[in-house]
A and B are shown apart, each in its own frame.
Chain A
Amino acid sequence: MIKKKTDDKRQWFLYSANLRVKTFVIIGISALVIISIFVSGYFIRDIPTSFVNANQMPSLEHLFGTDWMGRDMFQRTIAGLGLSLMVGFIASAVSTCISIVLGLFSSFNKFADECVAGIIDLFGSIPHILLIIIVSIMFGGGVYGVIMGVGLTHWTPLARVLRSEVKEIKTKEYISLAENLGRSRFWIALKHIFPLIVSQIIVGVILMFPHAIMHEAAITFLGFGLPPHEPAIGVILSESMNYLSSGYWWLAFYPGMSLLIVVLLFDLIGENVEKLLNPETAQE
């Protein structure tokens, strides 16, 4: 028997580096891809129509093919992802603010804590998509409506995590010490509790991103929010449904694939950042 000589410790990728460096590299590359999509999406404005080149297969000239107006699908996809990222970013920011406020508020007293738990349960009990649709219509549709719709509905998981974290911190001795010394609840929340939940917030925000993007795509796919000339990823996908029977598979395949990759990249970043921030794994 010839045993293949392998070194389990030695990995194919950056094998001389330690896990920490590798994690950083993975985070860096993923972030770079996402940032470049976002930036180039911002610069793509009007994508020229060219009816002569309508419905063309993917080629070197048009990487993702062209749609029924002859617009380049690669540009549309990037612009759509850029929009998704923008929506995801603002929506995550809004969600995070709500979670932090509620999380810290829950530390004030038992009644506040019950209140927060109740609000979280209330919002959590309404089907997500339904709530997004209602909120975005309430804000008058359009990009603004979609952002608010996604932003005002995605804070529940993070708020729940923060609340339980806060609950645990509150049992610590230095908190009751500070209370006995006459510090205000607000001061305690800000100085003693907030710094301890920052790492949870960072991870929470990053993991909220893919959710927000998926829901942005879902709601624009359903036709709420954005009109069909806007290159949102959901709009592109719902439009492509009409052309599947004509055999124009590339209209759905590449944008869908790109959306998936972006979401996976966020997941990758989130997981690796968590590795770094979690004291149990940070030193490995």
Chain B
Amino acid sequence: MDKKILIGGAVVLVAIIAAAAMFMGGSTDTDPTHLTVAAHSNIKEPESGFDPLTGWGCGHQNYNPLVQSCLFKTDANGTIVPDLATDYSISEDGLTWTVNVRDDVKFSDNSTFDANDVAFTFNKAKETESDLDLTNLDKAVAKNATCVEFQLVEPRSTFIYDLRYLGIVPEEYDNSTYGQNPVGTGPYVLDHWDKGQQAIFKINDNYYGDKPYFTQVTLLFPDEATWLELAKSGQVDVVPVATSALNQTVDGYQFYEVSAGRAQGISLPYLEDTGAVSPAGSKIGNNVTADKAIREALNVGIDRQKMCDEIFSGHATPEFTSVDTRDYANPDAKVQDANVDEAKQILKDGGWEDTDGDGIVEKNGTKASFDLYYQPDYLDRQSLATVFAEQAKELGIEVKLVGADWDTIYANMYSSAAVMQQTSPDPYKSIYQQYHSKEADDFYMNPNLYNNSDSDKLMEEAMHSNDLSTANTLWAQSALVNGGGWGPAGDAPFAWLVNYDYNYFIKNGIDIGNQPDGLGNDVLINICEWTRTNSA
């Protein structure tokens, strides 16, 4: 009798444990409409929460803010089309942009969306978000519930990109709580957020567009080093591929490559070292890289295709002007590269010769040697820096690598080379801020203090133009003007190296729809179109 009870008890115990293991142990989410995404390291976990006014979705990087939606969006062809807006017009003088907005939209907290919210968002963002340069916006005024007027200080053709990327927040915005409890008009609402680990978004029932297939999106913020492990664990649906794993395959995942317009290259200080310092006290100028022959020789002598093939296993294309793939690219501003002989000739003509036989050229007693700063957390930048230094050595230029955090890099960018990256489709960011002359202000745009008055003039004209195609032509021209300009065929202030595509492991059966070209950093851009086709 006792034995039976004992056996019975044991059986029950085993059954309970087994049941518990089935419910709890295998915590893998089997709901097909739930999606888990590992964010790329370019989309950092926002410290101050999911708040567009402190940089979520706009600012340093542009991506789908999920919780909020914007006035405009990008369609599958890459065209900017209305989202919260219905249409817009620009006044004759280019100073007033009038945007009509939808009248059928509710925020996730059931309050009604109207033009006042838009005006509030832009006026507030102008004060709060430094990465999003809205200095040119004088003010935004709501004319009535569905019409908002933007008054600009001077005409700006690229203002559409600001309208495109700033997520709209309600007028009842409170900066102390908004980041934790964001309220928006986007397809999702923030369900909960485990800081340092994950943010879970649930579908927004008030969303005005087509409801997305995925009712829950979990966003993880892992280190680049753990990406491959995450994919191999099979618990994450979308995982970015690190540079070192480009040759790998993971069972159950497809390798997905999205073009990025992600230019990576080396900024070369443009000014001579005159002892000047920036407001923050950083040294300005470098006598080696300020010599045009050095910059030109690097641009001509470097083998970009080899870098693409070797470092990036072919998942990149050579990049010359930082905007090669954009509408405002200038193919004439490119140079023929991988030409070591010509590079050496350029150095020789520039007065650089190896007189002491150490393999490094000199000019007037100055050795052609400079420091190159890079951020070591990114494997792609580390390997680019290493290979760049190797190739430069063949030309007779010594590049000394310095791995450092961003603060140190920014403190040294005016006097040393640095590995930089640029992704924005907005020419205001990718050209005007990058190449227009400025006073040293310790901001990371135009890190080498490039300046050329001819080029400046064309950029200003492009900014002031009301017509997009005229503007694009002007942007392109500024890359090469009177033998100068910011392209490598001009003044060559940068040695842009590669255009590195964004690569993801995406679980079999997930259909990510049609992604627009050149925006690969924002893989969730069309999350509303995503589906899972093999749902069990």
- Chain A residues engaging chain B, CB cutoff 8 angstroms: 46, 48-52, 54-55, 68-69, 227-229, 241-243, 245-246
Contacts and interface: CB of A to CB of B under 8 A. Distances in A.
A228 B310 contact: no
A227 B402 contact: yes
A69 B383 contact: yes
B401 A69 contact: no
B390 A46 contact: yes
Contacts of B248: 246
B376 interface: yes
Given A50-B310, A228-B403, A229-B401, 7 more contacts: A46-B390, A51-B310, A68-B383, A227-B402, A229-B403, A242-B225, A245-B232
B95 interface: no
Contacts of A54: 244, 247
A229 B390 contact: no
A51 B309 CA distance: 9
Contacts of B385: 229
B383 A49 contact: yes
B393 A46 contact: yes
Interface of B: 225-226, 228-229, 232, 244-245, 247-248, 310-311, 313, 376, 379, 382-383, 385-387, 389-390, 393, 401-404
B315 to A, nearest CB: 12
A52 B404 contact: no
B108 to A, nearest CB: 39
B386 A229 contact: yes
20 contacts: A46-B390, A46-B393, A49-B310, A49-B387, A51-B310, A51-B311, A51-B313, A54-B247, A55-B244, A69-B383, A227-B402, A228-B376, A228-B403, A229-B382, A229-B385, A242-B225, A242-B244, A245-B232, A246-B245, A246-B248
Contact of A245 (B229, B311, B403): B229
Nearest to A229: B401
A241 B245 CA distance: 14
A178 B250 CA distance: 80
B228 A227 contact: no
Contacts of A55: 244
The B interface is mostly helix, strand or loop, or mixed, namely: helix
A227 B383 contact: no
A243 B225 CA distance: 8
B228 A49 contact: no
Nearest to A238: B225
A51 B225 CA distance: 19
A196 B317 CA distance: 70
A103 to B, nearest CB: 40
Contacts of A48: 390
A69 B387 CA distance: 9
B386 A227 contact: no
A45 to B, nearest CB: 10
B232 A68 contact: no
Closest 6 CB pairs of A and B: A227-B403, A51-B310, A242-B225, A68-B244, A228-B376, A245-B229
Interface centre among A50, A54, A229, A241 (most CB of B within 10 A): A229
A165 to B, nearest CB: 44
Nearest to B389: A46
A227 B387 contact: no
Given A242-B225, A245-B228, A245-B229, A49 B390 contact: yes
Contact of B376 (A52, A227, A241, A242): A227
Nearest to B401: A229
Contacts of A52: 310
A245 B228 CA distance: 8
Nearest to A68: B244
Contacts of A243: 244
Contact of A227 (B390, B393, B401): B401
A242 B386 CA distance: 19
Contacts of A69: 383, 386
A69 B248 CA distance: 15
Contact of B379 (A46, A50, A68, A246): A68
Nearest to A223: B376
Contacts of A242: 225-226, 244
A52 B314 CA distance: 12
Contacts of A46: 389-390, 393
Nearest to A71: B386
Nearest to B225: A242
B359 to A, nearest CB: 11
B416 to A, nearest CB: 14
A243 B248 CA distance: 12
A245 B376 CA distance: 21
Given A227-B376, A227-B401, A49 B229 contact: no
Nearest to B310: A51
A241 B225 CA distance: 9
